Amino acid sequence: MQRRTALAAGILPSALPCWAVAQAPASDLDLLEQALRALHPGLHRYQSEAALATGFHRLRRAWDAADGPRDRFLALNAFLGTLRCGHTYTNFYNQRGDVKQSLVLGAPRLPLHFVWAGDAAVVTRVHASAAAQVPVGSRLQAIDGRSMAALREALRPLVRADGHNLAAQDALLAPTGADELETFDVLHPLVFGAREAFAVDLLTPAGQPRRVALRGLSHAERRAMRPEPETEPSDATPPWPLTLHDDGCAVLRMPGWAMYRTRWDWQAYLGRCFERLQAERVRGLVIDLRGNEGGLDCGDALLARLIDAPLDAGLTQRRVRYRQVPAELNPHLDTWDDGFRDWGDRIQPHSPGWFHFRDQPIDRIAPAGPRFRGRVAVLVDGSNHSATFRFVQLVQRHRLGTLVGSPTGGNQRGINGGAFFFLRLPGSGIEVDLPLIGTFAPEGTPDAGLRPDVPVAATAADWAAGRDPVLAAGRRAVRA
């Protein structure tokens, strides 16, 4: 379960409070611009005011010229992409009614999963209907006559990312089954047209060219391909399995940190995991975060067991743009905590147009036992862009473990998140996720994610043979 799933599922209030009666802005785009300018902390992180104004102008022209909801949805995504914020987007899970049915769920899906390995798209899982035609480890060359490189180039501007982080965009454009709603599955038919079947050109693992016709899958069929079971977290079915190996190494697999509404005591579970590591005298721990965008700061509970003294977690400064939401915006903003509508005395002025928080309790992490004293490796990839990015950044900065895998998502300059409004545009019905807290690093910080200490990625041959070289490298790192 991913961060964006949990934020959207079942937490939007069914009725607005009595204060939500102010006059609404004149149009969807007036509302969007007013909300972004009043509330969003990252509008000018990567672009000037002139560039932002040009973006709004282009969006209005495209919106007015649009031939229906599809064109407006794509125009909006193209504009939001220019903000270069990994948390500002048309959240597929938060769309409703006809918007969700026609734009998100309706089109047939490709009957396979794939990942990007450099410029290659490598098949990692195949639906039963296509298994005889497409071997795992095949390299996709083209879909319906368009090369995979051209497809990726066309879709990237519509995909959210923090800064100019291509790794984050490619992670979202890789339909792996990590999410119920995949970015590629939604955007590909919107841009290139929905089809009941796909003409796919590929190279088999043996290097043989092959053209196949593949029946498209319904959303339900695509969802059934997901590798992670959709069960309520519990000690009987933990979403974070801990596996101990004979070589003294343990692997903690953590595919998601979306623990917002679960009743499962995940903190107690992690405590028991570390108790077991101590009792079994485990010498090396691999924490597998591949595919994990984030969610709650579950990484703090891990860090607390890797340190002997309080850890300074203040990598960035947290700021907001407003003290109180303008009254006319409130009727269009949903959230899970109405405290976001008025920060009150929790914030104080920082500089013109900015406020910072008086108390930042997450900036220091205290040790908690039992302490793990063995070697630690963390497996990372482009999906790590929110809470997982913060965790791996702290691991790398404080030398608490070795990062293994491929470059992360997120951005060293800081990201926007922490608190959210869900803005619903009343005319079109489209929803936009709006982050409220910006984190800002010192001037001159690179516009990039994090590079692993040990770079390694699976090749097409690895997938064909069922090998996991990233996990193998992680286990070697903790045995060294």
The number of beta carbons lying within 10 Å of the beta carbon of residue 53 is: 12
Share of the chain above pLDDT 70, in %: 93
Provide the residue type at 296 as one letter. L
* 318: its two tokens: 């947290």
Residue 229 has what pLDDT?
64
Q: Are 307 and 397 in contact (CB under 8 A)?
A: no
DSSP characters for 418-436? EEEEEEE-TTT--EEEEEE
What does the alpha-carbon distance between residue 229 and residue 110 come to, in Å, rounded to a whole number? 21
Residue 380 has what pLDDT?
98
Q: pLDDT tens digits, residue range 213-230?
A: 999 999 999 999 998 766
Which stretch of 153-167, 264-278, 361-375, 379-393 has the lowest confidence by average pLDDT? 361-375
DSSP characters for 183-245? HHHHHHHHHH---SEEEEEEE-TTS-EEEEEEEPBPHHHHHHT-SS------SSS-SS-EEE-
Residue 17 has what pLDDT?
42
Residue 316 has what pLDDT?
79
Residue 25 has what pLDDT?
59
- Identify which has the larger pLDDT, 76 or 178: 76
Q: pLDDT tens digits, residue range 416-475?
A: 998 999 999 999 999 999 999 999 999 899 999 999 999 999 999 999 999 999 999 999
Residue 360 has what pLDDT?
57
Query: Does the pLDDT of residue 274 top 50, yes or no?
Result: yes
Residue 67 has what pLDDT?
95
What does the alpha-carbon distance between residue 327 and residue 25 come to, in Å, rounded to a whole number? 11
Residue 9 has what pLDDT?
38
Query: Does the pLDDT of residue 37 top 90, yes or no?
Result: yes
The owner of tokens 């303008």 is 326
Pairing of strands 416-424, 333-334: antiparallel
- pLDDT category of residue 19 using cuts at 50, 70 and 90: very low
Query: Does the pLDDT of residue 12 top 80, yes or no?
Result: no
Query: Does the pLDDT of residue 20 top 50, yes or no?
Result: no
Domains belonging to the chain, first-starting first, are 27-104 (no CATH), 107-224 (2.30.42.10), 242-479 (3.90.226.10)
Which stretch of 217-226, 360-369, 375-384, 416-425 has the lowest confidence by average pLDDT? 360-369
Query: Does the pLDDT of residue 2 top 70, yes or no?
Result: no
Query: Does the pLDDT of residue 15 top 90, yes or no?
Result: no
Residue 7 has what pLDDT?
42
What rounded mean pLDDT belongs to the chain?
A: 92
DSSP characters for 288-355? E-TT---BS-THHHHHTTS-SS-EE---SEEEES-SB--TTTGGGEE-S-GGGGB-GGGEEEEETTEE
Residue 26 has what pLDDT?
62
Share of the chain above pLDDT 90, in %: 85
What does the alpha-carbon distance between residue 42 and residue 39 come to, in Å, rounded to a whole number? 9
Residue 369 has what pLDDT?
86
Question: What's the rounded mean pLDDT across residues 253-261?
Answer: 90
- pLDDT category of residue 119 using cuts at 50, 70 and 90: confident
Residue 314 has what pLDDT?
76
- pLDDT category of residue 362 using cuts at 50, 70 and 90: low
- Identify which has the larger pLDDT, 443 or 39: 39
Pairing of strands 364-365, 311-312: antiparallel
Residue 470 has what pLDDT?
98
Q: Residue 33 CA to chain centroid, in angstroms? A: 24
Sheet strand arrangement including 375-380: 242-244, 249-253, 284-288, 375-380, 402-405, 454-455
Question: What's the rounded mean pLDDT across residues 386-413?
Answer: 96
Q: Are 87 and 294 in contact (CB under 8 A)?
A: no
Q: pLDDT tens digits, residue range 319-333?
A: 999 999 999 999 999
Residue 174 has what pLDDT?
97
- pLDDT category of residue 253 using cuts at 50, 70 and 90: very high
Residue 464 has what pLDDT?
97
Query: Does the pLDDT of residue 196 top 80, yes or no?
Result: yes
pTM higher than 0.75, yes or no?
A: yes
Angle at 173 between CA 175 and CA 163, to 5 degrees: 145
